[in-house]
Amino acid sequence: MTFANVGTLGAVPGRRDELVAQLTQRSDELREAGCLAYEVGVSDDAPDTVFVVELWQSADAHQASLELPQVRAAIAAARPLLSGEFGGFRFDVIGSPLRD
């Protein structure tokens, strides 16, 4: 069952765009691990926040990805850019009006 992980990451003030650059570095390993979509963005309404929408083939695929060396390295590289504020939610996808 497709799994969605949607989150907000607080950035250290002034370092949001570095965090965006870090999160958008090309990673074909993510797709190979079962990542279907990984959209990173920002909002004028929250200048120190990075937004992420992830879709995965399954919750297990997402969980397993966190142990990949490349993903662990990316998390470590992002850490100095994070304020420690996190938000968001996770859910199991049931369907879409765009497909049967």
DSSP run (H or E) holding 44: none
Write the CA distances from 25 to 30, 40, 66, 96, integer angstroms: 11, 11, 16, 28
**What's the min distance (Å) between Cβ of 67 and its own copies?**
17
Q: What is the contact surface with its own copies in residues (CB under 8 A)?
A: 2, 4, 6, 8, 20, 23-28, 30-31, 35, 37-43, 46, 51, 53, 55, 89-100
84/3 Cα distance (integer angstroms): 24
